[in-house]
Amino acid sequence: MHRRRRTALLLTAAIAAAAPLLTACGNDAHPGAAAVVGGQRITVSQLEERVGEVRAAQRAAVQDEAQYQQAIARTGTLTRDTLHTMVLDRVLHRAAEDAGVTVSRKEVQAMRAGLEQQAGGAKGLETTWLQQYGIPPQRLDDNLRLQLEAQKLAEKLGTNTDRPEFWKALSNASKDLNVDLNPRYGAWDVQKSRPADAKTPWVRDVTAAQTQQGM
């Protein structure tokens, strides 16, 4: 349990402190694409739809226009952060597959149940994830799966998420997928498998909930 806690905390810190070393950048070879990962396009319209989900959830969660504008101000880089998360999701999933790591729906449900207990119910958890991490309710399970994959991958490699072995696995997946970002949304650091110029806190400290579930 202590190891799982360190994994989540260190991974969050590592990404928040992402170094601006640029080793790969996007180009305009894919019109209409926000990014291309593994030959598959993440279209601008798909990105805008995901951003729209967050904005709709923010609007529904506040009482007046002033509060909504404050929420927008707190997530001023939402479009870029959302794209970076969408890309990293695919990179991490590829690295997990290469290592033989899988995450079951039951595991996601168990994690969610523990978090809901901590947050005082499903609504409390959804509100927390939206306010703190910009994750709308309909994407919460996807986000939890992402975290579980990261933690299980680190364990499979016999390391922690701040160690070179973990980032090497993500780097290899990034290279295999040939991540290509549209320059308007920033750039992707292949060596570190993260945005070269943005913070993406895609793993949270959820260990307490896992402990409650006996994981």
Site of tokens 């994959």: 149
Looking at residue 134, what is its pLDDT? 85
Across 3-151, the runs of DSSP E, i.e. the strands, are 33-37, 40-43
| Alpha-carbon span 115 to 124, nearest angstrom | 9
- pLDDT single digits (tens) 117-140: 999 999 999 999 988 888 999 999
Q: Give the mean pLDDT of the chain.
A: 77
Domain residues of the chain, as ranges?
2-212
pLDDT interval class at 5 (50, 70, 90): very low
| Alpha-carbon span 166 to 163, nearest angstrom | 6
Contact 186, 195 (CB under 8 A): yes
- pLDDT single digits (tens) 38-81: 999 999 999 999 999 999 999 998 878 888 888 788 777 888 88
Q: Which of 11-15, 58-62, 151-155, 177-181 has the lowest mean pLDDT?
A: 11-15
- pLDDT single digits (tens) 174-205: 889 998 888 888 777 665 555 554 343 334 43
Q: In which order are the strands placed within the sheet that holds 180-181?
A: 40-43, 33-37, 180-181
pLDDT greater than 90 at residue 153: yes
Query: 136 vs 16, 50, 149, 180, CA distance in Å?
Result: 21, 9, 20, 26
Model confidence, pTM: 0.73
According to CATH, the topology of domain 2-212 is Triger factor/SurA peptide-binding fold (1.10.4030)
- pLDDT single digits (tens) 82-130: 888 899 899 999 999 999 999 999 999 999 999 999 999 999 999 999 8
Contact 133, 143 (CB under 8 A): yes
pLDDT greater than 80 at residue 8: no
Contact 95, 153 (CB under 8 A): yes
